Amino acid sequence: MNLVLILVGVTIVKPIVYGNVARYFGKKREEDGHTHQWTVYVKPYLNEDMSTYVKKVHFKLHESYNNPNRIMTKPPYELTETGWGEFEIVIKIYFHDPNERPVTIYHILKLFQTTPEIQLGKKSLVSEFYEEIVFQDPTALMQHLLNSNRPITLGAWRHNTDFEAKKESTMKAIIEARNKIRLEVIDLKEKLTLAKETIAKFKEEIAKISKAGGSLSVA
């Protein structure tokens, strides 16, 4: 029986980018009616070799494709196809350490957009996302694989989306939303305080009238 050393309390995060690019042919292809060429991919966010810890990446395509199960065992983890419709692609990432469960990602293949340049096929459509794979309490083997550095042979990884700018704009929007909510809460508190003061004054007036032996009548 082989003992597996688990590193309790250790957390390692690997940021990745996944998605697809697509280009319109300009018209339907006569032989099969396909309108786009597309590439779906998984790649590291940082300039590193994912193959040090990734064993394979499984792309599950729509059943209408021949061999809808495509497996990539080395970088780049991507595949290129043609088609005419959008559908969900299931991406499953397997690791060299068999004790580490595979990670599953669901991506909707994006082909269509209203931008004129993309509609005319002059520019590629890009639909990509930032994600983080979190390894909680990995084995000693997995920690070693995750921390291993191997020279990149495919050149520096480039992304179509400026995720830092996107992060900055998202944080700005969150801060603005929080400030708006804070001001609304302050306004509501002031209104509530005013309402309480008004009620207190009415109660005080009613008490004075009652004490004086008067009465209130409702018309």
User: What pLDDT is recorded for position 168?
Assistant: 72
- Section 54-75 average pLDDT: 97
User: What pLDDT is recorded for position 3?
Assistant: 82
Range list of H helices, the chain? 116-119, 140-147, 163-211
- pLDDT at 218 > cutoff 70: no
B/e letters for 166-184, b = 16+ CB within 10 Å, e = fewer, are eeeeeeeeeeeeeeeeeee
Q: Please tell me the pTM assigned to this model.
A: 0.71
Query: Beta partners for 84?
Result: none
- Section 172-194 average pLDDT: 85
- pLDDT at 118 > cutoff 70: no
Does residue 130 sit in the same domain as residue 201? no
Q: Is residue 207 part of a domain?
A: yes
Q: How many CB atoms lie within 10 A of CB 41?
A: 21
C-alpha distance from residue 96 to each of 56, 101, 106, 141, 163 (Å): 8, 10, 22, 9, 28
Residue 87 class from Cβ within 10 Å (0-12 exposed, 13-18 middle, 19+ buried)?
A: middle
- pLDDT at 216 > cutoff 70: no
Does residue 142 sit in the same domain as residue 85? yes
Does residue 62 sit in the same domain as residue 141? yes
- With contact defined as beta carbons under 8 Å apart, do 59 and 81 qualify? no
CA 190 vs. chain centroid, Å, equals 39
Does residue 45 sit in the same domain as residue 96? yes
40 three-class SS: strand
Does residue 138 sit in the same domain as residue 182? no
- With contact defined as beta carbons under 8 Å apart, do 118 and 160 qualify? no
Q: Is residue 195 part of a domain?
A: yes
168 three-class SS: helix
Does residue 48 sit in the same domain as residue 137? yes
Question: What's the mean per-residue pLDDT of the chain?
Answer: 88
Does residue 147 sit in the same domain as residue 192? no
Encoded tokens for 149? 């550095």
Q: How many residues does the chain have?
A: 219
Does residue 69 sit in the same domain as residue 148? yes
Q: Is residue 2 part of a domain?
A: no
Does residue 130 sit in the same domain as residue 35? yes
Q: Is residue 65 part of a domain?
A: yes
| DSSP-derived pairing of the beta strands 54-60 and 11-24 | unpaired
- With contact defined as beta carbons under 8 Å apart, do 42 and 78 qualify? yes
The rounded radius of gyration (Å) of the Cα atoms in the chain is 30
CATH number at residue 146: 2.60.40.1970
Q: How does residue 179 score in pLDDT terms, banded at 50, 70 and 90?
A: confident
Does residue 72 sit in the same domain as residue 118? yes
| Intra-chain end-to-end CA distance of the chain, in Å | 91
Does residue 25 sit in the same domain as residue 42? yes
User: What pLDDT is recorded for position 21?
Assistant: 96
Q: Is residue 219 part of a domain?
A: no
Most confidently modeled range among 2-16, 56-70, 137-151, 200-214:
56-70
Q: Is residue 6 part of a domain?
A: no
| Cross-sheet strand order for the sheet of 103-108 | 69-72, 54-60, 88-95, 103-108
- pLDDT at 127 > cutoff 90: yes
- Section 2-14 average pLDDT: 90
User: What pLDDT is recorded for position 23?
Assistant: 95
Domain count along the chain: 2
Q: How does residue 112 score in pLDDT terms, banded at 50, 70 and 90?
A: very high
Domain that holds residue 122: 11-156
Amino acid at 33: G
